[in-house]
């Protein structure tokens, strides 16, 4: 019994669903960001598994780009969280319900 790319796809689908549920369940902005990272990783895993099945290296090149975008997103997102925390002293998104300075 050998591991097929479908196994990795199923695992990645489960990880993606857990990440999506985490965004809906948690109110802490930091944990929501971690959920986004988990979803990006699940998608990366599908890229790699599909690239292996198709016999092409472009899946792995896509993973490099996704990692760069994820890094940039995390840096800006955490800076926003820290800036909001300085102003409001909370990391809960429920407290940030008004769109004014």
Partner 1 sequence: MGELVVFVIFAPLALVGALTMVAARNPVHSAMGLLMTLFSVAVFYVSNNGHFIAAVQVIVYAGAIMTLFLFVIMLIGVDSAQDNQEVLPNQRPIAVALGLALLGLVLAAGSQGWVPRGTGSPVNGTIENVSDELFGAWILPFEVTSLLLIIASVGTIALAQFRPRAIAGDEADESAVDGELV
How many whole angstroms separate alpha carbon 35 and alpha carbon 100? 27
Q: Shortest approach of partner 1 to residue 45 CB, angstroms?
A: 6
Nearest to 19 by CA among 33, 36, 31: 36
Minimum distance, C-beta of residue 3 to partner 1, in the bound complex (Å): 5
96 is an interface residue for partner 1 by CB under 8 A: no
Helix (H, G, I), strand (E, B) or coil at 54: helix
> Using CA atoms, how far apart are residues 12 and 7, in angstroms rounded to an integer?
9
By CB under 8 A, the residues from 32 to 91 that bind partner 1 are 33-35, 37-38, 41, 44-45, 48-58, 60-61, 63-65, 67-76, 78-83, 85-87, 90-91
Q: CB of residue 77 vs partner 1: minimum separation in angstroms?
A: 10
| Minimum gap (Å) between residue 98 Cβ and partner 1 | 13
Q: How many CB atoms lie within 10 A of CB 76?
A: 10
The residue within the footprint of partner 1, chosen from 2, 98, 99, 100 (CB under 8 A), is 2
CA geometry: angle 69, 73, 75, nearest 5 deg? 120
Q: In the window 5-24, what residues touch partner 1 (CB under 8 A)?
A: 5-11, 13-22, 24
């Amino acid at each position: 019994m050998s591991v097929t790319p479908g196994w990795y796809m199923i695992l990645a689908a489960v990880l993606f669903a857990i990440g999506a549920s985490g965004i809906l369940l948690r109110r802490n902005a930091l944990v929501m960001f971690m959920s986004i990272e988990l979803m990006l990783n699940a998608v990366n895993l599908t890229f790699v598994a599909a690239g292996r099945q198709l016999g092409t290296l472009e899946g792995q090149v896509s993973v490099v780009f996704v990692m760069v975008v994820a890094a940039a997103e995390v840096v800006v997102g955490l800076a926003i969280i820290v800036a909001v925390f300085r102003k409001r002293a909370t990391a809960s998104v429920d407290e940030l319900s008004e769109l004014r300075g």
